[in-house]
Structure 1
Amino acid sequence: MIVDREHDNHQEIKSIGHCEVVQSFVYLGSLIDNSGSCVNEIRRRIKQARVALLKYGVTITSLKLSK
């Protein structure tokens, strides 16, 4: 991925050697995009937390669990 804010991230480049140029990818659990912004990463993590809470919310808030 080429991240270059000054030159509009080289949108015309489709591949470099045997590598494909992409707009974004997940690396070690973090979303990396060509804008250099973290807004999409924050939104993605909030969405993951919401899904986890909906999945386990009943278990977490259950009064039958021992402390």
Structure 2
Amino acid sequence: PWMHSYAVVVDHPYFGVTGEDGTFTIANLPAGAYTLEAWHPKLGTRTLDIKIGTGAKAIVPARISYKTE
């Protein structure tokens, strides 16, 4: 069997890897406006603009989906 691997390089310390349930956490993110970018090897990239308040915990519902043929 063939094996696959993926590497994503970012120029900042704010990233997450999903767990089995598809959720992830980015800790210690400073307050501000951000563009959340999610990538999937078959579904591509999706972006979502978000705002994080000072001392706030944000739960951002985001979904990447596709239609089966």
In the superposition, the TM-score normalised over structure 2's length comes to 0.23
Greater Cα radius of gyration, structure 1 or 2: 1
**Larger strand percent:** 2
- Richer in helix (by share): 1
Structure 1 length-normalised TM: 0.23
